[in-house]
Structure 1
């Protein structure tokens, strides 16, 4: 039960911070994913906590025994007598703005209640600041205010195979209702393209990684072979994916250095709804994320083996004293041959399951070799094995088995969008360049087809024209693009940001995990929910909509928020001289998305999301024992 020993004061203050930030977000009309909501929450939490600082200090310093009473008296008089009435008046005054964005009466009333509570919390926080400023002990109060951000020293982590299996089972059981509701699993347009290859309607293509297509086919054939029912075949793969991801989550949780961290990660994997939705969706991005989790955990283990005794870092992970003690007094050795073999296998899968991951892995290899320079021979052999294997698979093997590779147009999302934006906005283009563009595509309907945040329309327009012109004259079209970007830098930057900005800016609104069942198709695949009813439908709807409604929680639905958390975590680790090997790979993955992604899609960055509990920095302060 020690792990559940909670600080009630901090919980109350955190609730005030949340509701205060929530009210400000609603009144200002900003998104819950706007970075300002985090700033508001921290400031209100800090201000709300000032009322506790004096009473906390009085336990340690008898000369300050009057501080807590004084703050409590002022806070009580001001907050109780004035804040409720003022909050009510402000809520009524802001009625139209507060309720204007909702059609549902339930959400309108809920929004009003949140605004009222939030205004009361804001007024209480402001009164705390004024009372602290007016107090004769204000120097003590503000000097000690930093104690509100300290955290308790974590407890020793759960260990062993039993704990690993329990963690994995909890994740699996949390996802099971989604599987029953979405039975036999969620299949979108991309999934159906792969299904066409599985049943032989279309030839194999690596546009969607053929390794993933064959994996689906393996379990589909098992289920179909036993039952003769294609839905059972799909369900068989979905169950495999759920089990695989649950085991990956359990493995990552076991790499965290304390019970509280482990339980937080378990809640994240089990309760946050997009994890459950993705676990039952037939996408390459989900299996890829699981492979990334295994790869990062392995790298952490291998890096730990290389640390001198007593060091407190692994490959991008902050390690607690308990994990440090694990290696204290033991023989520090290079990673084993078995670990290098597993790294080769995971590296091959990592590079094959996403085309941008292959590029990121190649860019990552110098960092990997530097990190394992003490075992450079086996590191070089392993990296070479990954690269040679992937080159052979993507080359001779695909050719032998007639697996089609993605066309050149697929990698031209950003250049195509930039040139299309210039045409749509009537930018002045060189006549020779315009003629060259019109040689490849028909620009008649480009205004109707252009979508600033979605590149596939323009790519399909190119495919409908003469893509062979670009294929056969790459250098000519490259010079054209570079010339026009130089001539129209603002339009080029705007086009890039409109297409890719969501990967680096949290405030960009995107849909996350909002799909259901199997998309309409001509192959007799249907959605057969095993559980249903309004309660089930509403639960899923509300669980996902909360990501658009609740501050801070909404940040979990923003790939841009995870990116900046990763950047901050990397900077902190560098300042502490801790290894950042895994973080560098994630940053390189994000870089490839910024260069070539056809749309901002949460699933494209899902590997960064699910590995977050491993790489995130748990605050910049030194932990203390309370």
Structure 2
């Protein structure tokens, strides 16, 4: 990667001309706030069983004002981040012992390798309490299935064979650490080794991200703020250390995002360097191998980058990571690796989870109104008794884990019937969808908890037959983990903490605010497209959140991990100095 220009910090006060340019109508903000408010209140309406139309309207008005105020506060926060943070000599003379200590431990992200090691060490110290609390490791439900596949034991997905239902590379990684632990005396040792390695990898990647921001013309406060966020926001270390496929995906996605940002910042000039292009291709493949939707994120990112790079040659080179990822995922794995290694391909039910969920509710509420031929198709592709087993918060009992020949034969007729009934029963489809995805848009309420959770309690202290058979470590500290979860949930229910600990804030509200402010700066010519394209990691993540199989269950927490990782990037790009941005 080519050396980037020295840091250019934002001026203390913008010119009056720039201020006039940014005084654009707030109609767009009002529309965004109104839509978010209406969706949030619609989810509350579904949870409470309807009623109270006047009260609903008042709630929508209040929420619209709330979202607008939050955005205006966000603007002031970005203005503060963009200010020059230099201190005068007299300020240093009046500094306290604490501020002097903080200056001493704060790394210089534009410095040498020693400063990088210092940054890694400080973050590691901040993460240490969460690391000690999690030991030997926080294990998720899907990981138990993958370890059982590694051992060749029957599991909820297969009778012992490997399956691509979960990414094979993730299964291999977990299996290798499990086996190392078994050789060293107990699988718990292997889990602890994994927790240590993934924590180190995540810390190194986060520090690398901050160093990139520090060398890319964002304000000092912005990149130091990103560093503090990665160090101190508890859910960053908690989720990054988990033994789950999303934790493996996160550092690779962050590195891929940084490469995309560099391509955008240089308008594709960095792709002339073969090493840079090779790194981008390798990261694209790894992102695709560690998450089922990763290949689609890669392709979408390359398409968006094509609009900001300069020249057809750079656009052609962007085909390489997209083509390489597609070749590996759709050709090499299913046609070569899976047959050779006797791996069962993953089913298509994951990609059509939302239509399956909507069809199950359709059968439950309007089954008597459907023609027999349509009912036969729906019952044939859904899990047995799907209408009776329908759960509004998850799709597992509707979609199942196996893709049979019967399902494959019924796929096209099913899609036609699903589309046809979407016109006839839109309310049923909307209810099924928004109940499932309400964690991404609704405010937490008494019926549904949509806050972030510590999640230490998950799987570790609730052993099932599968957990015992897998040999994975279990913990008896149920009261401790339960107390932590209750404390975090209670904290998130407090009025002033609720927005910041809400899943909706990180998945929807903050991205909308960042996108809105970016568009305003583009219209005011205060930001170039080369830097605005730093939103690409967010833009390729959000769509897949909105087609996830759950948003309010513990599983939904791991889905939003990329959103936490890339959140500071969108804030940082808004502090890029206007003059520097226009030079690109």
1:295 to 256, 259, 262: 256
Report how far residue 506 of structure 1 moved.
Answer: 5.3
1:612 equivalenced with 2:551 (yes/no): no
Report how far residue 548 of structure 1 moved.
Answer: 3.0
- Give distance in 1, aligned partners of 2:534 and 2:574: 19
- Give distance in 2, aligned partners of 1:561 and 1:394: 34
1:103-139 CA-partner distances (Å, limit 9, x unpaired): xxxxxxxxxxxxxxxxxxxxxxxxxxxxxxxxxxxxx
Report how far residue 296 of structure 1 moved.
Answer: 1.3
For the structure 1 residues 365 and 266, does the alpha-carbon distance in structure 2 shift closer, same or farther, using more than 3 Å as the test?
Answer: closer
For the structure 1 residues 218 and 384, does the alpha-carbon distance in structure 2 shift closer, same or farther, using more than 3 Å as the test?
Answer: same
1:144-183 CA-partner distances (Å, limit 9, x unpaired): xx99965662448622323332222233222222222222
Report how far residue 246 of structure 1 moved.
Answer: 0.8
Report how far residue 350 of structure 1 moved.
Answer: 0.9
1:432 to 361, 370, 373: 373
Q: How is 1:165-244 mapped onto 2 (pairs within 5 angstroms)?
A: 165-201=117-153, 202-225=160-183, 227-244=184-201
Residue in 2 that maps onto 1:562: 507
Q: How is 1:405-444 mapped onto 2 (pairs within 5 angstroms)?
A: 405-426=345-366, 428-440=369-381
**Contact 1:356–1:589 (Cα < 8 Å) also in 2:** no
**Contact 1:413–1:459 (Cα < 8 Å) also in 2:** yes
For the structure 1 residues 582 and 221, does the alpha-carbon distance in structure 2 shift closer, same or farther, using more than 3 Å as the test?
Answer: farther
1:572 to 517, 521, 525: 517
For the structure 1 residues 622 and 439, does the alpha-carbon distance in structure 2 shift closer, same or farther, using more than 3 Å as the test?
Answer: closer
TM-score (norm 2): 0.70
Report how far residue 485 of structure 1 moved.
Answer: 1.2
Q: How is 1:192-341 mapped onto 2 (pairs within 5 angstroms)?
A: 192-201=144-153, 202-225=160-183, 227-256=184-213, 257-306=218-267, 335-341=272-278
- Unmatched tracts of structure 1, length 5 or more: 4-27, 47-145, 308-331
Residue in 2 that maps onto 1:398: 338
For the structure 1 residues 195 and 573, does the alpha-carbon distance in structure 2 shift closer, same or farther, using more than 3 Å as the test?
Answer: same
1:515 to 450, 456, 459: 456
Report how far residue 334 of structure 1 moved.
Answer: 5.1
1:496-533 CA-partner distances (Å, limit 9, x unpaired): 1111233344557425332333651223333358xx89
Matched residue of 2:138: which SS?
coil
**Contact 2:271–2:317 (Cα < 8 Å) also in 1:** no
Q: How is 1:488-567 mapped onto 2 (pairs within 5 angstroms)?
A: 488-505=425-442, 507=444, 509-510=449-450, 512-516=453-457, 517=460, 519-520=462-463, 521-523=467-469, 524-527=471-474, 541-543=486-488, 545-551=490-496, 554-567=499-512
**Contact 1:456–1:598 (Cα < 8 Å) also in 2:** no
**Contact 2:226–2:568 (Cα < 8 Å) also in 1:** yes
Report how far residue 614 of structure 1 moved.
Answer: 1.4
Matched residue of 2:419: which SS?
helix
For the structure 1 residues 429 and 569, does the alpha-carbon distance in structure 2 shift closer, same or farther, using more than 3 Å as the test?
Answer: same
- Give distance in 2, aligned partners of 1:148 and 1:221: 48
1:14-52 CA-partner distances (Å, limit 9, x unpaired): xxxxxxxxxxxxxx999xx97765656788x89xxxxxx
1:72-115 CA-partner distances (Å, limit 9, x unpaired): xxxxxxxxxxxxxxxxxxxxxxxxxxxxxxxxxxxxxxxxxxxx
Residue in 1 that maps onto 2:36: none
- Give distance in 1, aligned partners of 2:578 and 2:315: 36
For the structure 1 residues 393 and 223, does the alpha-carbon distance in structure 2 shift closer, same or farther, using more than 3 Å as the test?
Answer: farther
Report how far residue 387 of structure 1 moved.
Answer: 2.8
RMSD: 3.8
Residue in 2 that maps onto 1:457: 397
Matched residue of 2:547: which SS?
helix
**Contact 1:205–1:404 (Cα < 8 Å) also in 2:** yes
| Matched pairs, number | 467
Report how far residue 538 of structure 1 moved.
Answer: 5.2
- Give distance in 2, aligned partners of 1:188 and 1:198: 16
Work out which of the two has the higher radius of gyration on C-alpha atoms and give 1 or 2.
1
Matched residue of 2:165: which SS?
coil
For the structure 1 residues 481 and 153, does the alpha-carbon distance in structure 2 shift closer, same or farther, using more than 3 Å as the test?
Answer: same
